[in-house]
Structure 1
Amino acid sequence: MARLSHPSVRTPVWGVASLVLVALLATLAAGIVGGVFEASAIADAGATVRVLLPVTGVLGNLAIATTVGGLLAAAFLLPADKDRSRALTTAAVAAGAWTLVALMDVFVVFADVLGARLGEGDVGELLGSFMRLPLGRVLAAVVVVAAVVTVLTLLVETPTGSAWLLGLVAVALALVSLTGHTSGADNHRVAVSAMFLHLAGAAVWLGPLVVLAVLRVRGGLTATLPVVVARYSRVALWCYVVVGVSGLVSAWVRVGSLDALGTAYGALVLAKVVLLVLLGALGWAHRRGLSRRLASADGQQRWVFWRLAAVELAAMGAVSGVAAALAGTSPPVPDEAPAAPTPAQVVTGEPLPPEQTGATWFTEWRPDVLMLLVVVAGVLVYVRWHLRLRARGDRWSGGRTASWLVGMAILAWVTSGGPAVYGHVLFSAHMVQHMVLAMVIPIFLVMAAPVTLALRALPARKDGSRGPREWLLVLVHSRWGRFFAHPGVAAANFAGSMMVFYYSGLFELSLTTHVGHLAMIAHFSLAGYLFANALIGIDPGPQRPGYPQRLLLLFATMAFHAFFGVTLVTSESLMVADWFGLLGRPWGDSAIVDQQLGGSIAWGIGEIPTMLLAIVVAVRWAKDDERTATRRDRRVERSGDTELDDYNAMLARLAERD
């Protein structure tokens, strides 16, 4: 047995080493194909910088992935034992390496952009100038985030802390997604979303596998390996889809046409696609008989797992290497701004859409790959939960499923269709998008009761780890969850955040940055869901008041919406004038007239869903009274009307006293 167990320890070492080695070799090979190492005709920084640029990129990606893998394993995969502590230690070491590589990347990118040779001359002044550029500030912010994650990872011990740190790493990935080829062909927002999904999906896919290998090297996962790997496999499947879809979208934005696949950049894209397909096939073969083999105590069968894991890690390293070379290769679609940009392109970075008509609300589309993936995932997961309940004989209303599908369809339209296209250039269209997000979609989602369905469909874990069901319960019953779900707080947030958003710099931030736009979508959708759930929902969380108090909250928010709409209608001051006032639209009303129209929309659209909510509350109030009366009648038939008898007896005693 000792002889058979030896490869199970040695193979992970070679697997992790092969990951780095193959990634570096793939980076060099892909860099040669893509011309990354060729001297620049203008301000060349030297051969050292040309080689270090993709190398630091691939090493940084591997370090980020391992950091994510350790935090993800501690938050979602591992029970509360030594393995969780080891995973966090691995994440801390990887975060430290990420910090050093990110710091090196600042100097390498600085030298490449400004053509400064490292170690030659006085570059301090040039470096100071570079750090004042947006790219320099983004790279510096990544270094700061990496350093903070390193320190905090050494301090956290719980899944909750690990989850918070995963959110911080996501911020860094969002920053990194802004530094690639993301501005060509007037598709900046699409490219940024696709790049973020690609980086995040690759990190979540690769990182946990590296961490599992490290834990096996250190003697961990002795009893939980089959269960943990099965959990990771489900995550890996989602990541494979996300990486594949986002990669195709990113490639199309940068390639622009099929003819451009014959360029060096196109060749690297094709190589990456082939490697991804190969990696998917390896993963499928790997997991096909994984449960049966891992459940066996035979060390030789475990050796099969490690052999396949090493191959998969090597394939991932090759993909990472090609990706790093792609980042340094000039795409066929240039990043430069148009030679003669229109006013709309100067302000928004995108061409002006055609004149708005009734038909263009449904014919004009600018897909947001991130939100479309959210919609597709939401549909697939909800339907799967419904089918799971039905398969085990439990009932779930088809009407609730239909309500969810309608809500998801509207979400796809409002974030990628006409409201998204015109909401970027017309205040009135933006207000349509806002009102639908906050007041229409939440009604359908609340009627679908997704939290209740999830708690019934998701399996519970018994080993002390936190799966989706455990995390959902933690969120619902947490102090912050109960606070924001409270009907009064939900109503104040629903109404008050609108005023804060439009009369502060947040509105401008949502127009000028894609991150701000996505944050707006998330906030108002969630605020609308919490408010509607407090009034008409059945999902757990809020302690719902009586029906009269619910109607009072509802009419109070209705009055606030009316006040907000009237304020916009009567206003003569243009919001974000540097944006809406400088687009040079040859069609439509003036910016101030369009803003006043937006106020009317806020007033009108806001009243319709409010009245629907009021009707639902009133109907449920009547049904609740009817159920109460029915229960009382049954009690009277069973044991007599004791309340009426006591009342009559009291009246009789009063009469006798008189």
Structure 2
Amino acid sequence: MALVSVIAALQFGGGVAPEPIADPGPVVRFGLPIGKLLVNLGAAGTIGALMLASFGMSRDKPEYSLALDIAAASAAVWAVASAATGFFAFMTIYLQPLSIDDRFGELLAQFLTQQELGQSWLYTTLIAAALTVLCFAVRNHTLVLVMAVGSVMGLIPMALQGHAGGTASHDAATSAIWLHIVFAAIWLGGLLTLVLSSRTLDTGRIVPLLARYSTLALISFVVVAASGYVSAEIRVGTLDNLLTPYGILVLVKVAALGALGVFGVVQRRYLVGRIASTGERKYFWWLVTAEIAFMGLASGVAAALARTATPQLEVTASADTGATPAEILTGAPLPPPFSFTNLFTIWNFDLLWGLFCAFAVFFYLAGVWRLKKRGDTWPALRTVLWVAGMALLFYITNGGVNEYEKYLFSAHMLAHMTLGMMVPVLLVPGAPITLALRTIRKRDDGSRGPREWIMLATHSAYFGFLSRPLVAAGIFVASLWVFYYSPLFRWATTDHLGHQWMIIHFLLSGYLFVQSLIGVDPSPHKAPYPLRLLVLLATMAFHAFFGLSLMTGTGLLLADWYGAMGWGISALEDQQAGGGIAWSVGEIPTVALAIAVAIMWSRSDERDSKRYDRKADRDGDAELEAYNEMLAARSTTPTRTRP
């Protein structure tokens, strides 16, 4: 179905039409999208099998080893298809006749090592080849999860290719493509793994695996639908463009996605219970056959869309088009002049963090609802703080601050301080780990679900080391200096991938620091309160010194970026204002942390006093009596004098 649909969609959309000038030939024209289709299917088989093995299967059962064998075979297909697709891309660009002479080899090496497109395919091939070997060699459950994460990261080079949507929407398009192919891979690959391993599963085993896969499929459906809408909106633009060949192919893909959503509902609400009650699998095979067919249709159309001209023109900002220096540097139109009002009225949506915040709030509230449903209580203040923290995170990653931080260092510093200090101060008291451990069902079949992975992480030696206040504070403080006075700052400012890394790092380092001070979630080490206050005061001093160094400094950070914007604002004055933000805004949550630690210390003393009083009531204050007797015995013992 995938092969038929990709060929039909290419013919319909004109993706394989001969070029009027310098045509690479039919083999290359058809080979490139078909190779990309095989890349997608190989990646899906690898990621889906690894994810299902990590979160659904038991290491003690044959299903686990079979899933890893499926992942290894799929990764081999991924590697070979990536190499072939990279070669076809080279032939499309360089238009060289196939040869084995030195000149051909030099051009191919230049393409793979010096051009961004060639480097992307080279990296993808190497990652897939490494996964092929690792999937054959590794059987450790924890390392399998690491490989699953690595396979997901291996799709980043692919996300940087294809229709970028124009420089104005490049960042949004890149995030949407990556989310789309990752969760489509989990969805398709998980189903293929279930099908290929079904002969090793009896009825009592296939039911829980099917239920666990259905959860992954439901999440994948939501993400694929949202990312697909964003990608289509960027590339189609208007409703009239839906009648173009590209738009019609998008509608075909939407119809396939809708059908898959219906299949998912039937699977969750009917099929799992039917198999559990009757043990009959024919319904499973009927539904799976139809589902895989529609997945093949969607996969083929997706590969063809990458070679079909978009109705929305992709415009690149340049001096020839009259773009300003700021537009050339950022690749986006200038926002309105900075003002306090615009911070709250302008939005620059980031689908990745929008979905993250939405899922985080949904699952948290679902956990609270599950507790209340079984009669347990959960403090309302924790829920309010968690939702408020996620709302603040959503605003920083999607609101006016996200729009202006490309142009103004002060806006960037405001985002940094909020991510590293304000958001964690709200999220940590929400106690998400405690809530998860109380609400997620424990598994008894040897597999690892979210609860088991959380337990493993919180009891690991790595978390125990990182959760110590001195270590967490060291990471938090060192990040300030290392980030801003190293090439990391340029990478995070000028590159979308670096920007995403920056958000994750600041958020995690701040969360770890706040957790070590006021966290109520389980932790291997609970430092005494005097040490917590001492560490916090020292951190405040280092933080203030960093802010003062920016306020009084005369050297401009990233002078060829912030200094070249030409936006009517002095870059040095803006940087000094950013230093003031680092000093003032960063200290507000620090003071709140100090108050919280002091309150927790006081309450801890009160609890210790009450516990001591209850113990004294039970045993007649035996400990105090023993201490008094010891003092009395010492007073009656004659003292020895030195000669």
Deviation of 1:651 (Å)? 5.3
Deviation of 1:414 (Å)? 0.4
Q: Indicate which of 249, 262, 268 corresponds to 1:287.
A: 268
Residue in 2 that maps onto 1:188: 170
Residue type at the aligned position of 2:175? S
CA distance in structure 1 between the aligned counterparts of 2:131 and 2:58, rounded to whole angstroms: 22
CA distance in structure 2 between the aligned counterparts of 1:92 and 1:101, rounded to whole angstroms: 14
CA distance in structure 1 between the aligned counterparts of 2:276 and 2:623, rounded to whole angstroms: 64
Tell me: CA distance 1:194–1:221, structure 2 relative to 1, closer, same or farther (3 Å): farther
Residue type at the aligned position of 1:451? I
CA deviation map 1:320-360 (0-9, x unaligned): 00000001112122334143332112211112221111101
Tell me: CA distance 1:478–1:638, structure 2 relative to 1, closer, same or farther (3 Å): closer
Deviation of 1:223 (Å)? 3.8
CA distance in structure 2 between the aligned counterparts of 1:545 and 1:408, rounded to whole angstroms: 27
1:225 correspondence with 2:206: yes
Residue type at the aligned position of 1:127? L
Q: Show the 5 A alignment for 1:82-161.
A: 82-118=62-98, 123-131=104-112, 132-161=114-143
Q: Show the 5 A alignment for 1:598-613.
A: 598-613=578-593
Tell me: CA distance 1:297–1:117, structure 2 relative to 1, closer, same or farther (3 Å): farther
Residue in 2 that maps onto 1:424: 406
Q: Report SS of the residue matched to 2:420.
A: helix
CA distance in structure 1 between the aligned counterparts of 2:331 and 2:269, rounded to whole angstroms: 47
Conserved in 1, the CA contact under 8 Å of 2:83 and 2:125? yes
Conserved in 1, the CA contact under 8 Å of 2:246 and 2:308? yes
Unaligned regions of 5+ residues in structure 2, if any? 639-643
CA distance in structure 2 between the aligned counterparts of 1:224 and 1:274, rounded to whole angstroms: 33
Conserved in 2, the CA contact under 8 Å of 1:37 and 1:50? yes
Q: Indicate which of 18, 25, 29 corresponds to 1:46.
A: 25
CA deviation map 1:607-645 (0-9, x unaligned): 111111100111111111122222223333443334444
1:313 correspondence with 2:313: no
1:276 correspondence with 2:230: no
Conserved in 2, the CA contact under 8 Å of 1:551 and 1:617? yes
CA distance in structure 1 between the aligned counterparts of 2:531 and 2:116, rounded to whole angstroms: 50
Deviation of 1:116 (Å)? 3.5
Count of matched residue positions in the alignment of Structure 1 and Structure 2? 632
- TM-score, normalised to structure 1's length? 0.93
CA deviation map 1:205-261 (0-9, x unaligned): 000110111112x54455411110111001100100100000000111111222221
- TM-score, normalised to structure 2's length? 0.95
Q: Indicate which of 522, 546, 562 corresponds to 1:564.
A: 546
CA distance in structure 1 between the aligned counterparts of 2:615 and 2:126, rounded to whole angstroms: 67
Residue in 2 that maps onto 1:261: 242
Residue in 2 that maps onto 1:370: 352
1:398 correspondence with 2:377: no
Residue type at the aligned position of 1:308? L
Q: Report SS of the residue matched to 1:433.
A: helix
Residue type at the aligned position of 1:35? G
Tell me: CA distance 1:196–1:641, structure 2 relative to 1, closer, same or farther (3 Å): same
Deviation of 1:43 (Å)? 2.2
Q: Report SS of the residue matched to 1:459.
A: coil
Residue type at the aligned position of 1:110? F
Residue type at the aligned position of 1:363? T
Deviation of 1:288 (Å)? 2.7
CA distance in structure 1 between the aligned counterparts of 2:98 and 2:253, rounded to whole angstroms: 31
Residue in 1 that maps onto 2:521: 539
Q: Show the 5 A alignment for 1:572-591.
A: 572-586=554-568, 589-591=569-571
Residue type at the aligned position of 2:256? L
Residue in 2 that maps onto 1:495: 477
Deviation of 1:183 (Å)? 4.0
1:597 correspondence with 2:577: yes
CA deviation map 1:494-518 (0-9, x unaligned): 1111211111111111112211111
Residue type at the aligned position of 1:361? L
Q: Report SS of the residue matched to 1:187.
A: helix
Conserved in 1, the CA contact under 8 Å of 2:86 and 2:122? yes
CA deviation map 1:298-327 (0-9, x unaligned): 5xx311210110110000000000000001
Residue type at the aligned position of 2:9? A
1:527 correspondence with 2:506: no
Deviation of 1:648 (Å)? 4.5
1:621 correspondence with 2:601: yes
Residue in 1 that maps onto 2:301: 322
1:251 correspondence with 2:232: yes
Tell me: CA distance 1:185–1:578, structure 2 relative to 1, closer, same or farther (3 Å): closer
1:361 correspondence with 2:335: no
Q: Report SS of the residue matched to 1:577.
A: coil
CA distance in structure 1 between the aligned counterparts of 2:637 and 2:143, rounded to whole angstroms: 70
Residue in 1 that maps onto 2:620: 640
CA deviation map 1:543-586 (0-9, x unaligned): 12111111001001000101111111111111111211111213
Unaligned regions of 5+ residues in structure 1, if any? 1-21
Conserved in 2, the CA contact under 8 Å of 1:438 and 1:528? yes
Deviation of 1:420 (Å)? 0.9
CA distance in structure 1 between the aligned counterparts of 2:414 and 2:202, rounded to whole angstroms: 52
Residue type at the aligned position of 1:315? F
Conserved in 2, the CA contact under 8 Å of 1:353 and 1:421? yes
Deviation of 1:656 (Å)? 5.4
CA distance in structure 1 between the aligned counterparts of 2:585 and 2:508, rounded to whole angstroms: 18
Residue in 2 that maps onto 1:19: none
Q: Report SS of the residue matched to 1:333.
A: coil
* Higher mean C-alpha deviation, range 123-132 or range 138-147: 123-132
Residue in 2 that maps onto 1:337: 316
* Higher mean C-alpha deviation, range 382-391 or range 168-177: 168-177
Conserved in 2, the CA contact under 8 Å of 1:185 and 1:333? no
CA distance in structure 2 between the aligned counterparts of 1:123 and 1:264, rounded to whole angstroms: 36
Residue in 2 that maps onto 1:59: 38
Deviation of 1:600 (Å)? 0.9
Residue in 1 that maps onto 2:641: none
Residue in 1 that maps onto 2:57: 78
Conserved in 2, the CA contact under 8 Å of 1:550 and 1:617? yes
CA deviation map 1:63-110 (0-9, x unaligned): 110011221121111112111001101110111111110000111111
- Higher RCO, 1 vs 2 (CA within 8 Å, ≥6 residues apart): 1
CA distance in structure 2 between the aligned counterparts of 1:118 and 1:209, rounded to whole angstroms: 39
Q: Indicate which of 16, 36, 53 corresponds to 2:15.
A: 36
CA distance in structure 1 between the aligned counterparts of 2:422 and 2:118, rounded to whole angstroms: 42
* Higher mean C-alpha deviation, range 636-645 or range 45-54: 636-645
Q: Report SS of the residue matched to 2:446.
A: coil
CA distance in structure 2 between the aligned counterparts of 1:35 and 1:233, rounded to whole angstroms: 37
Residue type at the aligned position of 2:173? A
1:409 correspondence with 2:391: yes
Q: Indicate which of 444, 456, 464 corresponds to 1:474.
A: 456
Residue in 2 that maps onto 1:13: none
Conserved in 2, the CA contact under 8 Å of 1:562 and 1:603? yes
CA distance in structure 2 between the aligned counterparts of 1:224 and 1:652, rounded to whole angstroms: 70
Q: Report SS of the residue matched to 1:224.
A: helix
Q: Report SS of the residue matched to 1:578.
A: coil
CA distance in structure 2 between the aligned counterparts of 1:631 and 1:360, rounded to whole angstroms: 54
Identity of aligned residues (%): 45
CA deviation map 1:161-218 (0-9, x unaligned): 11111121122211100011124160111101100000001000000110111112x5
Residue type at the aligned position of 2:310? P
Residue type at the aligned position of 2:129? A
CA deviation map 1:443-483 (0-9, x unaligned): 11111000000000000000000000001111111222222
Q: Show the 5 A alignment for 1:430-441.
A: 430-441=412-423
RMSD: 1.7
CA distance in structure 2 between the aligned counterparts of 1:483 and 1:143, rounded to whole angstroms: 36
